[in-house]
Amino acid sequence: MAEIRVYNPLRDTIRPENYIHIWRAWSERHTLWADLMRLPQFPAMAASLSGRIMVANAVKPFLPLLASIARVRDTTIPPLDHPNPTGLPQAQFQRWIEDVAAASLAVRAHRPFFNELRSRTGWKGPAPDPGLFKNMLELLVETTPSFEPRGMIGVVDAELFGNEVRMASEGRVFHGANIVKFFAAAAKANPDDEYDVDVAVASAYQMQIAVYVVTMGAHVEELAREAGERKEGYRALLLDAIGSCVADTVALDLTIMVERDGILRSNGACVARKLSVGYGDWPLEEQRDIFAILNPEKNIGVSLNEACLMMPEKSVSGLIGMKRKG
């Protein structure tokens, strides 16, 4: 039977409460993402006193954002907003600058949310226009306290063969050449094949797969529906975009956790990849099989209607497997 794990709330690497701080900082510094790319290099540059001073000065503009980010950290490290980090002993300064770099990586982990917003709201260039910054900030401030990200997985021994992903212990079979191709290529069942070519699994291939369901809750979609009823089209559009982007990012957060914690037996694979129900030729009706394995209505409050659509609507389900790097 599936090994079930429930995460309620689900705030692991990517935390929705950070969106407001990042969005506000980005509106004030449009080169934010490019600038953050440099910060992980700073610990290696800070071996000498002159290097410490240079790095501390370079980091200073980012400290308000980095200090505001909710994340797991060692409380014995000097705080990011330390009034005079260059005055710390060398060992303490090194730990401080390593924490700065870790905080910058925590910010960058949230970028998929903003990339999703870009695709759903259609802005061009490196950053949104001032109007979108303003409106989105107001909505994030309004809605973020109501986000309820939660999710669950069931780890299952599976078998790939033909056009089927078979889960004998659950009595379930998922159908579709696309999903078999995705997981067979990901696991390198056919090591000479690439992801973007046809993959035929000539003999049964064993692997572990995580069946998952995540949701960000129902409040934002209710606000979007109310805005639509009031003919507030722009507000409804932005709220709907926020809800969809948070749900997709929660699914990514779960995938990161599966990879980092080594939840799946991986046959030498090391990078987690997810696939959502309805992708390609994967029938949406097989959502029922995922719900039969996980019972997400009981565990995280996500139900399935007769059309195989999830409620709350801002929910995502599918399968997670592993692949090798490169």
pLDDT at 294: 98
Asked if residue 183 is part of any domain, the answer here is yes
Same domain, 228 and 286: yes
- Whether residues 157 and 245 share a domain: the answer is yes
Name the residue range of residue 243's domain: 146-323
Domain match, 97 and 154 both: no
Let me know whether 211 and 65 are in one domain.
Answer: no
Whether 9 maps to a domain, the answer reads no
Could you tell me if 168 and 307 lie in one domain? yes
Q: Which of 4, 13, 6, 9 lies closest to 253, judged by CA?
A: 13
In-domain check, residue 220: yes
* CA proximity to 97, closest of 67, 68, 59: 59
169 and 238: one domain?
yes
Do residues 58 and 204 share a domain? no
Residue 186 has pLDDT above 60, yes or no: no
Task: For residue 67, tell me if it sits in a domain.
Answer: yes
Domain boundary among the residues 62, 96, 126 is at 126
Q: Is the pLDDT of residue 183 over 60?
A: yes
If you search the block for the tokens 């909710």, which residue do you land on?
Answer: 70
Where a domain ends, among 78, 98, 126?
126
Q: Is the dihedral of CA 178, 184, 188, 191 positive or negative?
A: negative
DSSP, collapsed to helix, strand or coil, labels residue 48 as coil
Are residue 175 and residue 216 in the same domain, yes or no?
Answer: yes
Top pLDDT among 153 and 324 is at: 153
- What residues contact residue 205 under an 8 Å CB cut-off, 6+ apart? 159, 160, 161, 184, 187, 189
The string of pLDDT tens digits covering residues 148-161 is 999 999 999 999 88
pLDDT at 177: 82
Domain count of the fold of the chain: 2
What is the DSSP code (8-state) at residue 100?
Answer: H
Quick one: average pLDDT of 81-102? 95
Q: Are residues 261 and 293 in the same domain?
A: yes
Q: What CATH number corresponds to the domain at position 156?
A: 3.40.109
The chain-wide mean pLDDT, for the chain, equals: 91
Q: Is the pLDDT of residue 181 over 80?
A: no
Has residue 242 been placed in a domain? yes
Could you tell me if residue 26 is inside a domain?
no
> 193 by DSSP, 3-state: which?
coil
Q: Which among 126, 157, 191 is the end of a domain? A: 126
Q: For residue 279, name the pLDDT band (cuts at 50, 70, 90).
A: confident
Whether residue 121 is found in the same domain as residue 152 = no
The CB density around residue 204, as the number of other CB atoms within 10 Å, is 12
Q: How far is CA 287 from CA 213, 318, 321, in A?
A: 10, 8, 17
- CB contact at 8 A, 113 and 19: yes
Residue 12 belongs to a domain: no
- What number is the average pLDDT over the span 161-167? 90
Q: Please state the rounded mean pLDDT for residues 18-47.
A: 95
- 155 and 110 in a single domain? The answer is no
CB 109 within 8 A of CB 13: yes
Same domain for 83 and 210, yes or no, is no
